[in-house]
Each structure stands twice: as C-alpha cells, then as structure tokens.
Amino acid sequence: GGFDPRYFMYCEDADICARLRLAEWQFAIASSCEVVHDAQRASHRSAKHLRWHLTSMLRMWVSPAFWRYRALLARERSHPSA
C-alpha cells in the first residue's frame, strides 16, 4: 500500500519500514545515500510542526502495525538467529 497518507511529515518513514518488515521484506543499508529533511527540526521552532509531529507519533503509537513490529523486534532480540 505504500506510504500511509494519514501521516504528514513525521513518522511516515518509521511506519512504512515497520509494515515492510512485517511483510517480511529485506532491508539493506545504502551508506552512500544522504537524505536531508527540509524542515530540519522545525517542530522545535513551530507550533504547527510540533502539532504535526505529536499527532504522527500518537498515530504511530496506536497503530496495530507498530505494536506487531515491536513484538517482532522483541522476539528477534530474545531469539537471535545464528
């Protein structure tokens, strides 16, 4: 389904990564890539950005995918593969 349109500017990356891991997609690190967020900590300076940030975090914390992903990470930590 791609990016969830309910997220705006914050947490959309964490949400899609969690959902992809739950769907058993594999990840790789591209250390030669650099991403710069244009807002760069705008939630520290702007009430509007802070509201977007907090709303996205709350949306993530109540998401069933978030809690399934946390459970997956906990299982992986308790039973590391060889």
Per-residue pLDDT tens digits for 48-75:
888 888 899 999 999 999 999 999 999 9
User: What percent of the chain has pLDDT above 90?
Assistant: 51
40 pLDDT more than 80: no
Distance CA 34, CA 2 (A): 21
79 pLDDT more than 70: yes
Distance CA 15, CA 17 (A): 5
Radius of gyration for the alpha carbons in the chain, expressed in angstroms and rounded? 15
Task: Specify the pLDDT at position 73.
Answer: 94
